[in-house]
Amino acid sequence: MKKKQKIQILLGCVCLVLTFAICIQLKTIENANKVVGSSFTENELRDEVLRWKEKYDNMVRETERTEKSLEEYREKASQDNAVSASIEEELKLANNLLGLTDLRGKGVMITLQDKKATGLETLNVSDYLVHAQDLVEIVNELKNANAEAISINGQRIINTTGIVCDGTVVRINGQKVGGPYVILAIGQPEWLETSLTMQGGFIQRIENYVDAKVEKVYDIQIPKYEGVYNIEYMTTVEE
């Protein structure tokens, strides 16, 4: 009986040990599975992070290329604008010199009109009239004094302007103009005035025959040339 009890106790202990061992084994397997599962999740996250980092890097590079292209376009646009502004300024200056724009500035106003002849003077009335040649001379004097723009009774004087007598009036730019003749010139007022009124100058030469007055004016307006440029003979030299 005692022997049988010992065997039972021994078997019980063995079963207990086996049960304990099995529990430990199961726990170990469970922990191992958790570690594997955790490791697998971390790998996936790491791969996902790497993929997003690659996308981010690509976007950064693309953004840098775009910004560089935009900067190049800005520089080119700025250069083009500068060139356009320069061309526009040159065209504006050319139009001013050609007489194709209205202008204003300081300068002088000269008024010429026929002198009323009396007594023996009436023997040669023509001497006391303003002639086309008088206007030509005064225009030349003003140009020599660096006048930048000139008009006579609203007719802009350009390089091809003709000033000729037509009976008792004068024809300027093909238009009949009668006295009194008001000549406007834009330029340095003192220079223009001195060129006309100096000793032996134009005004002194004609003052005994026509009434002439020179005034400095600080706000002159000169109209543009209304005629048509006819270019028949000159051509551009090709480089």
pLDDT tens track for 91-106: 777 787 788 899 999 9
Residue 97's alpha-carbon distances to 145, 156, 212, 227, in angstroms, are 16, 11, 28, 15
List 114's β-bridge partners, or say none.
210
For residue 19, what pLDDT is reported? Answer: 61
The radius of gyration of the chain from alpha carbons, rounded to an integer in Å, stands at 52
Distance CA 113, CA 62 (A): 79
CA distance 142 to 126: 25
Indicate whether this model's pTM tops 0.95: no
Q: pLDDT band at residue 153, thresholds of 50, 70 and 90?
A: very high
| Position 4 confidence tier, pLDDT thresholds 50, 70, 90 | very low
Flag the least confident range among 27-36, 74-83, 140-149: 27-36
CA distance 103 to 143: 16
Q: Which is nearest to 192 in space by CA: 200, 184, 180? A: 184
Residue 161: CA atoms inside 13 Å, Cβ hemisphere, count? 27
User: Which range is most confident: 10-19, 199-208, 226-235?
Assistant: 199-208
pLDDT over 60 at 194, yes or no? yes
Q: For 43-92, what is each residue's pLDDT tens digit?
A: 666 666 677 677 667 766 776 776 677 677 667 766 666 667 777 777 77
Fold of 105-222: Alpha-Beta Plaits (3.30.70)
